[in-house]
Amino acid sequence: MIRLLCLLLMLSVTLFAQASDRDDWEFGVRAGGMITDNALRLDGSAEFLTITRRLDDKRAVELEFGADQLDFSMDYGLRHKTVSVNYVEVNREPLWDPYVLVGLGVSEFDAPTGITEGRDAMMQVGTGGSWELSENGKLLLRGDVRFRYDLNDTGQPGQDGWGDAIFTVGLSYRF
């Protein structure tokens, strides 16, 4: 099922890409931490791979693959794999490019107890920025903060109609 969703998401990115004359693609890797629900402590880690298609100077569509592990400071071991399509709106500035993003996708979880696996829809909204690290503008430093909401409501720790704050930083390469 997740492979079918990945295929459909990749197809949607391709369809969006056909609307542009430009050939601006970007590959990115980011890592960071997560804060869940209303707890103000670092509960886990997150990693993301992205492939982005710039539609013009201010808009992009991004296919994002993510993985995270929530330990709640006690080695709990709740894991998620996510696939999402994000719409990115960029406000170009001379020294950096701030952006906002809105995304929809699917989250697959693997829990240590109770209902041990499942798949649910997810939504996310975030803001961030990118900074050019090379003279040719191809290597970028990218950081963002986002809120991810999952429709999972199994009543287990970290899965009660949860919302997560995710903080990431990483590198992107334009090609």
Query: What is the C-alpha to C-alpha distance for residues 142 and 171, in angstroms, rounded to an integer?
Result: 6
Residue 111 or residue 81, greater confidence: 81
CATH code of residue 133: 2.40.160.20
Q: For the chain, what percent of residues have pLDDT higher than 70?
A: 75
Asked if residue 155 has pLDDT above 50, the reply is yes
Element (H, E) at 2: helix 2-17
Domain of 88, in residue numbers: 2-16+25-174
Structure tokens at 76: 């709990």
Name the residue with tokens 């990945």: 6
Query: What is the C-alpha to C-alpha distance for residues 175 and 159, in angstroms, rounded to an integer?
Result: 38
What lies within 8 Å, CB to CB, of 97 at 6+ separation is 90, 91, 129, 130, 131
What is the pLDDT, as a whole number, of residue 19? 47
**CA 95 → CA 92, 99, 133, 137, 140, distances in Å?**
9, 13, 11, 12, 12
Number of domains the chain is built from? 1
